[in-house]
A and B are shown apart, each in its own frame.
Chain A
Amino acid sequence: MSKIMIYAEVTRDNYLHTVVFELAYKAQKLAEKLDSADVSALLICKCGLGENFKEAFMNSGFDNVYIVENDRYTHYSTELYSKAAIEIIKEVQPDIVLIGATTQGRDLAPRISSSLHTGLTADCTGLDINENGKLAATRPTFGGKLMATILCKTLPQMATVRPKVFKPSPENIVKNTNFIYKDFEIADIKRKVEFIDFSANLRNEINELDSAEIIVAGGRGMKNEEGFELLKQLADVLDGTIGASRDAVEMGLAPQSAQIGQTGKTVTPKLYIACGISGAIQHLVGMQEANRIVAINADKDAPIFEVCDCGIVGDAFEIIPKLIEELKK
């Protein structure tokens, strides 16, 4: 039987990362296409933490969970975590290994795949099983202008996936999960990278855009602070959150944490209103999975109009106040 393994990333505040549940549900769908597969999780964490997650694993369709606990794993360390992951993967021999494309996942995954002399496809937006039972991993390249489906000749076939690209299961998938504790001798590994300190972002800076249902985003066309004030008024009427293109951030109109796109956040709101954003591909890759996209732009040829559901051509400074009036009616 085929085996699919998911890396169960633990966040800095000791929760399972949401991407673990998104990958778990995707793994169930891949397992169906493989005529059933064993779905396992790999958890590396400090002593005792695994106990906290057992119920979550049992409700998310995992057949087996491999747990490696040691207090040296309290902070993520490339050196220590990759050692544990490589040992477990060598022993379990999964056909497919999926890892969240977080900073931790993107640091860890290539280290594992290179050590195992296997292939890794980064930042996938689609995962499927092809007619030969192989993982077909689809990802955007060239800043999203080209999609490529990538196959891997060796095992395990590895892929990373950004958070929020896939959805978690809408209901519990209850399994009689086996929890298998593993231990490695790591006391003698001397770390060359030493943790010094960590300063957290302000909480509201992180979560607002990630969980926003409605985003009102501004670009270069919003010109100045007055323009962003208009966006705030529109966002207030819709109970939405402000986002920005890279241009707007570079113009100092919005903080870096509000930036959406290739070098910023990926968002998937219910409604995305793009104001004065031309729609450069680097921006589109961060928001094109929104359920609905509305564009307000003065340039009728702006690429944003190619990806939106509805739009209006004109000066955002004129349109937005009128739109607010209409929405209040």
Chain B
Amino acid sequence: MKILVCVKQVPDTTDIKWTENNTMQREGVESIINPFDLYAIEHAVNLKKQISDSVVTVLTMGPMQAESMLRKAIAMGCDDAVLLSDKKFAGADTYATGKTIAAAIKNKLSDYDLIICGQFAIDGDTAQTGPSIASQLDIPQVTFVKALERCDGKSLYAIRELEEGMETVKVEFPTLICVLQGSEDPIRPTIAGTIKAQNSSVTVYTMEDIGLDEAGIKASPTYVSKAFRPEHNRGECTYCQTYASLAQKIKEYVNE
């Protein structure tokens, strides 16, 4: 079975600071593998253990620095890595990102059974890139997946976490699934994996390599017209010095 895992390099959003001009300070912000994508890697590595002769390829679109993240994914158990990197990919929205990744899969990695993505990326939080890839490959998608069961190399059962409960579906390959956070700690690199990662090569493809004539900001239907720091429209916090004044405020708020 051939599994592709799509991952994204994101800034650690717990670590974002602001400059004096209210712009986001990007220097010195650490890049990490999108946390949801760790679960995508984990599912892929688990499936590889269950189905003999499986190969897991990790794939990302990003700057050359993303190579170190791909090596980490190899250290966690992926077999090989592909980096889509080209200045022309910059500024892509979810549609253009889906188009680029789908083009790479069609042209260079078409021999796949299953594609696994994280449900969200913590920076953009759109949850759109996975379905966008699936749509442009014209394959079915299963989103909000909490657990995978009964994989036989041709199909699997996916358990989806929805607002009202848990839904089980059976899906035939080829397909794309988007996974939520699992219930346990996500996968970590192993020592053997880390050694392997050091000796692995990462395949890099440019826009021309994957047969696209337009990508990035040029291929994106959406664009950011304005970015700003959120404002809270409530005034300064009123600090209560006594329990009575706190209780008084709460009573006022309840009766508003």
B-side contacts of A109, CB under 8 Å: 128
Cβ-neighbour of B164 out of A146, A193, A200 (below 8 A): A200
B30 within 8 A of A: no
Which single residue of chain B is at the shortest CB-CB distance from A325?
B243
Interface range, A side: 35 or more
B123 to chain A, nearest CB (A): 6
Bound CA span A78–B141, Å: 8
Q: Say whether B230 contacts A312, CB under 8 Å.
A: no
Q: Say whether A152 contacts B221, CB under 8 Å.
A: yes
A2 within 8 A of B: no
A309-B126 in contact given A121-B222, A147-B227, A326-B243 (Cβ < 8 Å): no
Binds A, one of B37-45, B57-65, B165-173, B188-196: B165-173
B94 within 8 A of A: yes
Cβ-neighbour of B125 out of A104, A118, A122 (below 8 A): A122
B51 within 8 A of A: no
A197-B168 in contact given A114-B136, A122-B125 (Cβ < 8 Å): yes
Cβ-neighbour of B230 out of A122, A147, A310 (below 8 A): A147
A270 within 8 A of B: yes
Interface set, chain A 30-51, CB cutoff 8 A to B: none
A-side contacts of B140, CB under 8 Å: 78-79, 192-193
B-side contacts of A253, CB under 8 Å: none
Q: Say whether A196 contacts B170, CB under 8 Å.
A: yes
Q: Say whether A145 contacts B249, CB under 8 Å.
A: no
Which single residue of chain A is at the shortest CB-CB distance from B231?
A147
Which single residue of chain A is at the shortest CB-CB distance from B169?
A193
Cβ-neighbour of A148 out of B142, B160, B226 (below 8 A): B226
Cβ-neighbour of A153 out of B221, B237, B251 (below 8 A): B221
A276 within 8 A of B: no
Q: Say whether A143 contacts B168, CB under 8 Å.
A: no
Bound CA span A191–B140, Å: 9
Which single residue of chain A is at the shortest CB-CB distance from B247?
A326
A-side contacts of B16, CB under 8 Å: 142-143, 145
Interface set, chain B 222-256, CB cutoff 8 A to A: 222-230, 232, 234-235, 237-241, 243-244, 246-247, 249-251, 253-254, 256
A11 within 8 A of B: yes
Which single residue of chain A is at the shortest CB-CB distance from B235?
A309
Q: Say whether A150 contacts B250, CB under 8 Å.
A: no
B242 to chain A, nearest CB (A): 9
B135 within 8 A of A: yes
Q: Say whether B237 contacts A308, CB under 8 Å.
A: yes
Which single residue of chain A is at the shortest CB-CB distance from B171?
A193
Bound CA span A329–B165, Å: 42
A230 within 8 A of B: no
Bound CA span A12–B163, Å: 10
Cβ-neighbour of A119 out of B167, B222, B251 (below 8 A): B222
A154 within 8 A of B: yes
B170 to chain A, nearest CB (A): 5
Bound CA span A197–B95, Å: 32
Q: Say whether B243 contacts A147, CB under 8 Å.
A: no
Which single residue of chain A is at the shortest CB-CB distance from B248?
A326
A-side contacts of B50, CB under 8 Å: none
Q: Say whether A291 contacts B131, CB under 8 Å.
A: no
A-side contacts of B136, CB under 8 Å: 114
B85 within 8 A of A: no
Bound CA span A136–B168, Å: 37
Which single residue of chain A is at the shortest CB-CB distance from B14?
A280
B-side contacts of A305, CB under 8 Å: 237
Q: Say whether A114 contacts B224, CB under 8 Å.
A: no
Which single residue of chain A is at the shortest CB-CB distance from B13?
A143
A255 to chain B, nearest CB (A): 13
User: Per-residue CB proximity of B109-146 to A under 8 Å, as 1/0?
Assistant: 00000000000001111111111101110011111100
Q: Say whether A149 contacts B224, CB under 8 Å.
A: yes
A123 within 8 A of B: yes
Interface set, chain A 193-209, CB cutoff 8 A to B: 193-201, 206
Bound CA span A12–B251, Å: 39
Cβ-neighbour of B243 out of A114, A144, A323 (below 8 A): A323
Q: Say whether A11 contacts B244, CB under 8 Å.
A: no
A160 to chain B, nearest CB (A): 9
B33 to chain A, nearest CB (A): 16
Bound CA span A195–B131, Å: 19
Q: Say whether A292 contacts B256, CB under 8 Å.
A: yes
Q: Say whether A150 contacts B254, CB under 8 Å.
A: no
Bound CA span A311–B236, Å: 10
B residues at A contact (CB < 8 Å):
11, 13-14, 16, 24, 93-95, 98, 122-132, 134-136, 139-144, 157, 160, 162-172, 175, 181, 220-230, 232, 234-235, 237-241, 243-244, 246-247, 249-251, 253-254, 256
A residues at B contact (CB < 8 Å):
11-12, 78-79, 82, 102-104, 106-107, 109-111, 113-115, 117-123, 130, 136, 140-154, 192-201, 206, 214, 238, 262-263, 270-271, 273, 280-281, 288, 291-295, 305-313, 319, 322-323, 325-327, 329
Given contacts A193-B142, A197-B167, 13 further A-B contacts (CB under 8 A): A103-B144, A106-B143, A122-B125, A143-B13, A146-B227, A147-B229, A151-B222, A195-B169, A271-B254, A280-B14, A281-B13, A313-B239, A326-B246
CB-defined A-B contacts under 8 Å, sample of 15: A107-B141, A110-B129, A118-B221, A119-B95, A145-B16, A146-B24, A146-B229, A148-B224, A149-B227, A270-B254, A309-B235, A311-B240, A323-B250, A326-B247, A327-B247
